[in-house]
């Protein structure tokens, strides 16, 4: 089933986060989307309240990041087990904002993906090239390199989701052309097939970067696109619902 994941990033205090979650939940309750799974990834501080607000609606809950460690003296970290304990089913790891602003390497992302799965979560592993990398024709090489480095050796492919998010498309209003998305998703699909055999074809490949209700249908129609990771548009209930409906 396709997956539409909303990444709220560091946005929302309790009142607005709850209002947004309730608006999305109400729309889903009224007319459940067929053929698409919808996921909300609020900031860690909102997981409990948003989780309660969406309980029983079919909307899934996810974290935006997790510690590579299971527990202990890691001040400020949130473990994958803590996310699972709050009802999360998914966690995003290796988002480009964490790679860029928090210095996360492929190896660090692989450790987080392993920690996520050890806690029973599905890991959404993000990869994507910068604008300068695309400009010099290195997009595919960069993305496949990140993919290879960001998966732990013992990753469970049945609890893996991959998100292709070109860094230059995130929050910019610019998107790759359908042909450019098809090229990268095709390369990722091929790589996953080589690594995991037939199971690789079942790993959902999400596209992320400036997806809106206006462009969602065209992007979701691209071969090997199994859903989307949505940032800005997930902060407006009607936009997020519009994207979910485009996938259903």
**Other beta carbons within 10 Å of 212:** 17
* Consecutive H or E run containing 247: helix 237-247
**Catalytic residue chosen out of the listed positions 95, 104, 122, 133:** 95
Position of minimal CB gap to ligand PEP: 231
Q: Contact, 174 vs 168, CB < 8 A?
A: yes
Please tell me which residue in 97, 104, 129, 165 is annotated as part of the active site: 165
Q: What is the DSSP letter of 44?
A: G
Give me 133's structure tokens.
């990398």
Shortest Cβ distance from residue 247 to ligand PEP (Å)?
A: 14
Nearer to ligand PEP, 196 or 227 (CB): 227
Residue 185 annotated as catalytic: no
User: Tokens standing for 183?
Assistant: 């090229």
**Is 165 considered catalytic here?**
yes
Residues that bind ligand PEP (CB under 6 A): 7, 165, 170-171, 208-211, 229-233
Rank residues 37 and 81 by Cβ distance to ligand PEP and give the closer one: 37
20 φ/ψ sector (left φ>0, alpha ψ -120 to 50, else beta):
alpha
Residue closer to ligand PEP, measured from CB, 81 or 208: 208
**Nearest distance from C-beta of residue 28 to ligand PEP, angstroms:** 20
Alpha carbon distance 213, 215 (integer Å): 6
| Side-chain-side CA neighbours of residue 149 (13 Å) | 16
Work out how close the CB of 169 gets to ligand PEP at its nearest, in angstroms, rounded to a whole number. 6
Q: Which is nearer to ligand PEP, 54 or 229 (CB)?
A: 229
Measured from the CB of residue 11, what is the shortest distance to ligand PEP in angstroms?
Answer: 11
Active site residues: 95, 165
């Amino acid at each position: 089933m396709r997956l539409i994941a909303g990444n709220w990033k560091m946005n929302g205090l309790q009142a607005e986060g709850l209002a947004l979650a309730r608006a999305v939940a109400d729309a889903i309750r009224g007319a459940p989307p067929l053929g698409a799974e919808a996921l909300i990834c609020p900031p860690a501080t909102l997981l409990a309240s948003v989780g309660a607000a969406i309980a029983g609606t079919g909307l899934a809950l996810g974290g935006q990041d997790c510690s590579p460690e299971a527990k202990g003296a890691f001040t400020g970290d949130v473990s994958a087990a803590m996310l699972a304990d709050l009802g999360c089913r998914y966690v995003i790891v290796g988002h480009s904002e964490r790679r860029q602003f928090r210095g996360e390497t492929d190896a660090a992302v692989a450790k987080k993906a392993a920690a996520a799965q050890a806690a029973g979560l599905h890991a959404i592993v993000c990869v994507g090239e910068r604008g300068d990398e695309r400009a010099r024709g290195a997009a595919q090489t960069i993305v496949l390199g990140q993919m290879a480095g960001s998966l732990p050796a013992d990753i469970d492919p049945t609890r893996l989701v991959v998100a292709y998010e070109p860094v230059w498309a995130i929050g910019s209003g610019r998107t790759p052309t359908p042909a450019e998305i098809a090229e990268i998703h095709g390369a990722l699909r091929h790589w996953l097939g080589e690594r995991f055999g037939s199971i690789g074809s079942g790993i959902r490949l999400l596209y992320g970067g400036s997806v809106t209700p206006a462009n969602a249908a065209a992007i979701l129609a691209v071969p090997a696109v199994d859903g989307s990771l949505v940032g800005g548009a997930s902060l407006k209930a009607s936009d997020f619902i519009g994207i979910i409906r485009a996938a259903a």
